[in-house]
Amino acid sequence: MKKYAIIAGTGFDDYFKDSKEISISTQYGNVILNEIYFDDFIVYYIPRHGKDHSISPSNINYRANAMAIQKLDIKHVYGICAVGSLKKNLAIGSIVLSTDFLDMTKNRISSFYTDNNVKHLEVSNIYNSQLNNLFIEESKGTSLSTSEGIYVCTEGPRFESKTEIKLYQLLNCDVVGMTNIPESLLFGELNIAYSCVSYVTNYCTGVLGNISQDDFNNSNIKKDLIIKTILKCFYKDP
């Protein structure tokens, strides 16, 4: 049976809560994944911040997660990421599929090639256009408002300053998050098709005033619908 994976941030566990947990050991550490069987395929789910949501963006074991997915022989992955919006017309709840990134992280190991085995990854197609297009297609007719855009990844855990946000706007970026780098790059190194599905939880600092913590913690984002749309993509057999 074909296998797929979903890696997600906080608040997506409900869908997977009754599924079996499996443990995969990698040279970077152990990874616990939920395993769910569908008619023709199996989905593996990794909660990026751990079961108790305690792992900060800088401390996520990105390499272990990606390596566990490779060990399971999975060839297609959707990563779901919370982001702030850099544009007034990109409202809270919108979905943005990454087409490119700006890496502003400072403190992460972003490659499997860290010793004497250099690899210069070509990153212009790091986000898989087939997976992006499938998601766009399958979200039509639902209440998800989906577009493509450029993702800035910051180190966090703090939010950005107004001046940082102005810089990202000048570069025509669309959303800012803290978790998509190095995740996307590592799947690139492993040659696994990867798409980043970002959902806007708030406007970034200064776009419409300061960040509202209420917006950021908003549980009204259609997380269930995001998962269901990804499952519809898997049914299309990418």
Binding site for ligand HPA (CB under 6 A): 82-84, 154, 159-160, 176-178, 201-202, 204, 211, 216
Tell the smallest beta-carbon distance from residue 201 to ligand HPA (Å).
5
Tell the smallest beta-carbon distance from residue 107 to ligand HPA (Å).
15
Gap between the Cα atoms of 108 and 155, Å rounded? 8
Nearer to ligand HPA, 79 or 84 (CB): 84
Nearer to ligand HPA, 134 or 204 (CB): 204
Query: Which residue sits closest to ligand HPA, CB atoms considered?
Result: 84
Q: Cα dist. 8→19, 118, 172, 226 in Å? A: 16, 30, 26, 11
Nearer to ligand HPA, 201 or 229 (CB): 201
The pair of structure tokens assigned to 238 is 């990418």
Tell the smallest beta-carbon distance from residue 205 to ligand HPA (Å).
7
Tell the smallest beta-carbon distance from residue 158 to ligand HPA (Å).
9
Gap between the Cα atoms of 47 and 196, Å rounded? 15
Nearer to ligand HPA, 32 or 150 (CB): 150
Tell the smallest beta-carbon distance from residue 213 to ligand HPA (Å).
11
Gap between the Cα atoms of 202 and 205, Å rounded? 9
Gap between the Cα atoms of 152 and 164, Å rounded? 11
Gap between the Cα atoms of 196 and 226, Å rounded? 12
Gap between the Cα atoms of 24 and 30, Å rounded? 6
Q: What are phi and psi of 131, to 5 degrees?
A: -65, -40
Nearer to ligand HPA, 137 or 215 (CB): 215
Any bridge partners for residue 20, and if so which?
35
Nearer to ligand HPA, 4 or 57 (CB): 57
Tell the smallest beta-carbon distance from residue 104 to ligand HPA (Å).
10
Which residue in 152, 130, 2 sits closest to 75, CA to CA?
2
Largest CA distance in the chain: 50
